Structure 1
Amino acid sequence: MGLPKLVCVFLFAACCCCRRAAGVPGEEKQPVPTPDLVEAEVGSTALLKCGPSRASGNFSQVDWFLIHKERQILIFRVHQGKGQREPGEYEHRLSLQDSVATLALSHVTPHDERMFLCKSKRPRLQDHYVELQVFKAPEEPTIQANVVGIHVDRQELREVATCVGRNGYPIPQVLWYKNSLPLQEEENRVHIQSSQIVESSGLYTLKSVLSARLVKEDKDAQFYCELSYRLPSGNHMKESKEVTVPVFYPAEKVWVEVEPVGLLKEGDHVTIRCLTDGNPQPHFTINKKDPSTGEMEEESTDENGLLSLEPAEKHHSGLYQCQSLDLETTITLSSDPLELLVNYVSDVQVNPTAPEVQEGESLTLTCEAESNQDLEFEWLRDKTGQLLGKGPVLQLNNVRREAGGRYLCMASVPRVPGLNRTQLVSVGIFGSPWMALKERKVWVQENAVLNLSCEASGHPQPTISWNVNGSATEWNPDPQTVVSTLNVLVTPELLETGAECTASNSLGSNTTTIVLKLVTLTTLIPDSSQTTGLSTLTVSPHTRANSTSTEKKLPQPESKGVVIVAVIVCTLVLAVLGAALYFFYKKGKLPCGRSGKQEITLPPTRKSEFVVEVKSDKLPEEMALLQGSNGDKRAPGDQGEKYIDLRH
C-alpha cells in the first residue's frame, strides 16, 4: 500500500475517534421512555406489568431490575414461564401473577417507592419502566392548646396550639381554622410553622405550630387543624377536635350579683359576689355602707371573694359595693351601689300575755308584730289547727270552760312566701276540773298488769289522785290539762271495788269512775234468722277516739283460745242434744202436737244482758267551739258518755 493511502486510513480512523469522543449529536444515547405509574397503599400488593396493559404475547423469558442510584439490580427472572427470585431485599416478596408478564410485590412499604425495569428477551421488546408510588393515610390528628393563656396586650406572636399528624405517607398538608374559617399566614398576626420527622418505617410524622396575636373577641374562639392527604382512591382529609385558648384582657366594668334572685327573707342563705368583664377576674373587696356614719366599710369575704349571709337577718339590709384591683394594670374599678333588702317579721306579741277569765265572760286577744311589708294576722286553735279568725284582734264572747287552752297567732307577709312568725298564748277559764270521761268500763283479766289512765282539765291546773295503790305518772299536754297513768295489778279486790281518779284544784274537784269487767266465755245469742242457728258476740275493751287512755293487756291471745274452745264445745253439746230429741221424736216418745211445741231459747234473763256503749269522740274544747246552731249545749257535768239500751 502506498504512503498516501496509509495516511488517509489513519486520518479517517482518527476522525472517527474524535467524533466518538466529542459526542456527535446524531449518536447520543436514547432517552428513557415514560414509565408506567402504579399506585399502592402501605401493606397492600402492587402489580407490576411488563409492558402496556394492552400488550399481549408469550413472555417466556423476562428479567426484572430495580433502578437504584442509576444502577440496574436484578431482582427476578422468568424463564420458560417459571419465576426465579434473586437474592436480596425483594427475595421473599416477589411472585408471578396470572400472567408471566405481571410481577406481584406484596407488603408494600414506603421504601418500595422506586423505579422498576422489565426486559423481555422472548419476545424481544423495548425496555419497559414501571414507577411505584406508595400512600398511607395519617392517623387522626391531635391538637394541644396553650393552657397558660395569651394576654391581648402582648405585641409579639404567642403560640396558640400545636397539631400533630402521625404515620402518613407522603407528607400530608396541614390547614388551620378559627371558628371554621381557614387561617392564612399574615405578617405580625398569624404564623404557621410545620416540620416533619421520618420514622424508621419510612412514614412521616407532621408537626405544625400555630402562633398568633389574639384579641378580646377570641376568648371563645374554636381552633382546629385539618390534614389533607391522597390515596389511590382519591383526596381525603381528617380534622382534629376543637380547642379554646385562655385569653386575658383587662376589665372595663364591675358589678354586683346576689343569689337567690327575687325577694329575700330572714333565714335565707344569701350570697353576694362581684364580677367584671375582664379575664381573669381580679381581686375584689365588698363594702357595705354604715348607716350611722354613711361610709363604706369592707366586709369579710371567703377565699373566692364571696360574701355569704347565712342565715340572712334584718341588719344585713343596706347598700353594697364591689371594688376590683387589676394587678396587671394596677387599675381600680368600682361598681354601682346595690341595695340589699332582707324582708323580716319581728317577734309576735299577744296581749294579754297570760289571759284569765271567768266562765261566761268575754275575752279580747290582741296580736302585734312589726315588718317592712304589709302584715296579715290569723288566729288558730293550737290542738286542732282550726282557723278562728283573721286580723290582729280575736274576740271571745260568753266563753265556756272548754274554750280554755292554747291559741296561736300567726303574722305573715303574703308578698313574701314563707315569711311568717307565730306566738302561742294559753287562755285560762276559771272553774273546777272536768274529766275527759265521767265513767269507763275496762275489760280485764285477773292477775294481769294494767295501765289505767285519767285525763282532767281546769284552771288553775288540777292535780289527780287515785283511790287504789299503784305506780302513777303524770304529763301535761297543755297548761290546763293533766293526764295521769296508773300501773296496777288486777286482783279480786280491785275487780270488786273498781278504781276512781279524782282531779282537784282550788275551785273544786271531779271524779272519773273506772269499772273493771272480767273477761269470761263468749256469750251465745240465738240467731233470729235460723231456727237452730247461733251467733257469737265478742266483747272487747272500748276506747274513745282522740283519748289519751293507754289501757293494755286487754283480752290476751290465751283468752281468745279459751273462748274458741268453749264455742266449739257448746256447739257439739247442742248438736248432740238436737240429735237426741230427733231420736225420741221418731220413736214417738216426744209429743209433736201444736200444743206440745216448745221454744228452745235462752232464759229471758239472758236476753236482757247486752248493752252497747257509745262514747263521744269529741274533745271537750271542740264540743264547746263547735256547738250546733240549735243552741244545744252540754252541761258541765255531762262528760259526753251515753248508753243505748238494746234490750227492747
Structure 2
Amino acid sequence: MQAPVTGLITTTSVLRYAAQKTDVRANFTCKVQHFLDKDQESVPVTFPIYYPSEKVTIEVLTPSPIREGDGVTLKCSGDGSPPPASFTFFLKGKKENVENSNNYTIESVSRNMTGDYSCSLLNDDKLKDTAAITVHYLEMTLIPAGTVTKEVGQSVNVTLSKASSADLAVTWKKDNVKIDAPTLQKLAYRDAGNYECEVTAPTVKSLKKTSSFQLVVEGKPRIKNLIKKLGQDGKTKTLSCIVEGSPKPTVQWNVNASTVNESPYVNGQFTHTITMIPQGNDTVYCTASNKLGQDLYAVNISTFHTPSSRSDESEDSRETNDQPKLIVGVVVGLVVAALVAGLIYWIYMKKSKQGSWKTGEKDLGSHEENKKLEENNHKSEA
C-alpha cells in the first residue's frame, strides 16, 4: 500500500504456523529487506504453546537413606503445557488427591512402609509413574542397662539383641577404650567401669544406635600386706598398708604418724603409708573399713636395731611381724638341744657296752657280740 502524500509503501506479512511441543520457548521474528537499506529484524516474540501431558514422573525429594521415623516428601510432575497442578498419589493401597500442589509429605515413616509409591494426574490414572522407597531401621536392646552393682566374685550376664534392614557391626568400649565383647564372670575390681555398645550399619552410615551400663564392683576391705621399712636416719619407720576394697575403704592406725601418704585408688586398691618414731616395743595396727565391713593387720616394731636387723627391713622386705621370727628361733634352738642330748646319750651307751665286753659281762652285750667275745677268749687260751 502506497501513501498518497509521501509516496511511502507499507508492506504487511502474515505467518500461519502449526506449533508443536518442540516450539515451547521458541523465538519468532520477522525480517525486512530493501535494496536501498540494510536488513531490519523485529524483536523476538515467544508464543504460549499448550498441549496435554503425555508423561508423569514421581520423585522422592527426601535424600537417602530413609530411616524409620523420617519424613518423606514425594513430588509428581507432568510434561504438559501448562504443567498440571493437581495429582493423585497412591500410598501403599491408599489414594490421596492433592490439588494445586505437586508435593505430598508423609510425616513419619515406619519399616512396614517400605514399598512402591505412585502418582498420576488428578483422577486420571492412565498416566502413572512409580518409585520404590526403602525404610531402614535398627533395633537394639542391651541388658543390663543403667547402673549395676555387684560384689567381687559374682557375675553379670550381658545380652545384646539387634535387628536391622542392613548388615550390622558391633563395637564395645570400656571407659572410652575399645574392647572385645565383655565376659563378666567372677568379677574383679578392675572390671568396674562404664560399658558402651555401639551398633552401626556400614552400608547405611546414618543408621546407628548406642546403649551403655555402669558396672560397680563392691567388696569388703582386705589388707593384702603391711610392709615396714627402717628409715635412713635409723630412728623412724615407714609402714605401708596395702588395701583393697570398694567403696574405697578408710584407713586408720593406732599410732601417731609424722607423715601420711596415699597412692592413687586404682582397680579397687591403694597403699596408705605413714612414717613414725617407735617409742618402744609396740604393736601397730592398720584398720581398713567401708560400709561392707573391715579388716585389721598388726605388726610389731621396736626401737632397737642393729646393722643386720636393718638389712632385714630393707626395701624388698615383705616381713610383717617380728614375733614369728622369735618363735621360729626358739623352736630351732629346742630342736638343736634335743639332737645334742640324743648324741651324748648314744655315745654314753656305746662306751658302756664296750666296757662290758672287756670284763666278760655277757648279759650287757647283744647275742652276736657275746658269741664273738667267747670265741676270742677260747683262741687266747689255746
What TM-score does the superposition give when structure 1 sets the normalisation length? 0.31
Structure scoring higher RCO (CA < 8 A, sep ≥ 6) equals 2
Q: From the two aligned structures, give the one with the greater helix fraction.
A: 2
What TM-score does the superposition give when structure 2 sets the normalisation length? 0.50
> Which structure has the greater CA radius of gyration?
1
